[in-house]
Amino acid sequence: MDSLRIICPNGHLGFAPLRVESFRLGVAARPGCIAADSGSDDVGPIPLGTDTSTSPLAWQTQDLEYMLAASRQLDVPMIIGSAGDTGANSRVDLYVQIIKELAAKHRLPRFKVGYFYSEVGKEDLRFRMRAGETVAGLEAHQALTEAELDATERIVAMAGVHPFIALLRQGADVIIGGRSSDSCVFAAPAIHHGFPENHAYYLGKVLECASFCAEPYGGKETVLGEITADGVEVTAMHPAQRCTVASVAGHAMYERSNPYFEHVAGGTLDMSECRYEQVAEKTTRITGAKFKPAVEFRVKLEGAGKIGERYVGMVGIRDPYTIAHVDEVMGWARQQVRERFGDTGYELHYTVYGRDGIMGELEPLRHRPGHELCILVQGVAPTAAMAEEVCMTGTRQMFYARLPDVKGSAGSVAFALDEVLRASPAYRWTLNHTLRCDDPLELFPTHMTTAGG
Amino acid sequence: MAATGTKKLSELAKTIRSKNAGVDLITFDIIFSDRATYERVKRARVLTRESVQRLYGLAPGRISDFVEFDPANAIKFTIYRLRPSGGPGDPDIFGAQQYAPLLDIEVPDA
């Protein structure tokens, strides 16, 4: 095989639907593989914690249907990573079930569906920690303690290329992956077909977010990547989009702290010597990427822990005197919560829109609030009843705030709703860590089933 | 109004954006359409580790990376969040609206 072409129709399958026109053009180019990643930690810790998807089932199913129909028609592999936003086991099972139902719906001939799981059991991790293994913190996270492990609801490990390659070797026609590095979904088939790791990981890096590597800006459009022994070429499929040197190089920066390095299980892609060349109207060629294998095989872990049940309330303020003293208004309400519930055992958060609601302590203009404010109140507590009361007290008591010189003595805030509303439970990211593994597959058990026929 | 000979960064840059880079970091990209504009902003030294630290009121050590990325005509920096994304009270779980103060940075004429 001199080259392998892969199309990616969606940078986060399910989060918003793929665009059909450019997908059809991509399929017409007869790629050797159709692949997409379906996950992100951008959606926050709640889906992982509650074992749900943030993407609607209808959109997940729709994109899987387009991809499955095309891949079976071309008889080429379809590969999905990070099933159902989180890549948790229940999400893998969900996607495998969707594939089986779609196969039956379209009366597809029998084909092989490979899948792997990514969840890591808390007791497995505790056992490793007690055996002396350090679960090292990434970025702002400290090394994992057993207390943080206890506070964690669910953990997924971030797969590299290894389980995908294992399933391709077993002849999988469709692969549904647990949590995986985006780029590895695309690098795996390239490595499986014998292409150099240097180019294979770059191919994955450039394809992972679909048309985000093209211009003008427009998400959810299909792009086509082609790998040879000598480099990678990427082409926009949408008639109005192009992959340019600027758009492709610019994509290396997206969502990463450093544009030169991409870390995955098993090594680091070094893009500092990349060379970009416009080789056709819609195509840019990239050479010079280097994959550096890691000395120690470490896998990233993500974990979410529950803080409590949550209610939200909302108030408005128009009186300029009250706006100038809004911290005292919130302070009064907070004090009433404190007198009822004490200092700890719950959380009460105020977000002051019109002052620093979006940027908080980073807001340079927080000393210049607008002529009206909206304050979002969040009460979090172990039980729903307590969360409701924390939030209700923290909201309604703003109405009764005692400001010495206020003219309006009938109420310090405006209510659009004189109620507090149940929100999703509050979770936090407890794990953003790495774990050493002896075997690249040990956290990612693979399975094979069939669909259709 | 910008002083004579100066322009706002928003007039010079093609893209000014912010976004999560994992759960602990927010990364900022300022991308220019052409090399000359990019070089002009670099020469002006208005977008540096120090100027960003002042503009956002960041404590020393909050900036994890600051990169002038020539292949994309872009300047990029990354900051630590005080708490991981998506917890209660985080008003911007994608980190997508943290770039606004960059828009009005005054860039002197080259």
Per-residue pLDDT reduced to its tens digit, A359-369: 999 999 999 99
User: Helix, strand, or coil here: A146?
Assistant: helix
**Mean pLDDT of the region A320-346:** 97
The share of chain A scoring above pLDDT 90, in percent, equals 94
Taking CB atoms and an 8 Å cutoff, what residues of chain B touch A249?
69, 71-72, 74
Q: Which residue of A has its CA nearest to B99?
A: A359
Q: Across-strand partners of B68?
A: B75
Distance from CA of A437 to the nearest CA of B (A): 22
Instruction: Tell me the mean pLDDT in the region A332-361.
Output: 98
Q: From residue A222, give the alpha-carbon distance in Å to each of A4, A17, A415, B69, B71.
A: 16, 12, 46, 26, 24
pLDDT tens track for A47-95? 999 999 999 999 999 999 999 999 999 999 999 999 999 999 999 999 9
pLDDT at site B99: 98
Q: Count the Cβ atoms, other than its own, within 10 Å of residue B11.
A: 11
Q: In this predicted model, what pLDDT tens digit does every residue of A149-194 receive, in sequence order?
A: 999 999 999 999 999 999 999 999 999 999 999 999 999 999 999 9
Query: Which residues of chain B neighbour A258 with C-beta distances below 8 Å?
Result: 65, 67, 78
Burial class of residue A172 (count of CB atoms within 10 Å of its CB; 0-12, 13-18, 19+) = buried
Residues of chain B falling short of pLDDT 50: 1-2
Chain B nearest-CA residue for A347: B88
pLDDT of residue B110: 66
Quickly tell me which residue has 């026109």 as its tokens.
A21
Among B21, B82, B94, whose Cβ lies nearest the Cβ of A256?
A: B21
In 3D space, the residue among B35, B93, B19, B44 whose CA is nearest the CA of residue A259 turns out to be: B19
Minimal Cβ distance to B94: which of A42, A246, A258 = A42
pLDDT of residue A255: 87
Residue A283 to residue B85: CA distance in whole angstroms: 36
pLDDT-derived band at A1 (thresholds 50, 70, 90) equals: confident
* Confidence (pLDDT) at B4: 65
Query: Do the Cβ atoms of A45 and B64 come within 8 Å?
Result: no
Cβ distance B86 to A276 less than 8 Å, yes or no, reads no
- Chain B positions contacting chain A at CB under 8 Å are 15, 19-25, 27, 29, 31, 33, 55-58, 64-65, 67, 69, 71-74, 76, 78, 80-94, 97-98, 100-101
Cis amide linkage into residue A216, ω under 30° from 0 = yes
Give A238 to chain B, closest Cα distance, Å.
21
Please tell me the predicted confidence (pLDDT) of residue B109. Answer: 83
Candidates A25, A28, A30; CA nearest to A6 is: A30
- Cα–Cα distance measured from residue A394 to residue A17, given in angstroms and rounded to the nearest whole number: 39
Q: Which residues from A are below 8 Å from B83, CB to CB?
A: 428
Cβ distance B24 to A426 less than 8 Å, yes or no, reads no
Question: B91 to chain A: which residues are within 8 Å by CB?
Answer: 351, 357-360, 376
Percent with pLDDT over 70 in chain A = 100
pLDDT at A355: 98
Q: What is the pLDDT of residue A408?
A: 85
Which of A245, A250, A359 lies closest to B74 in CB terms?
Answer: A250
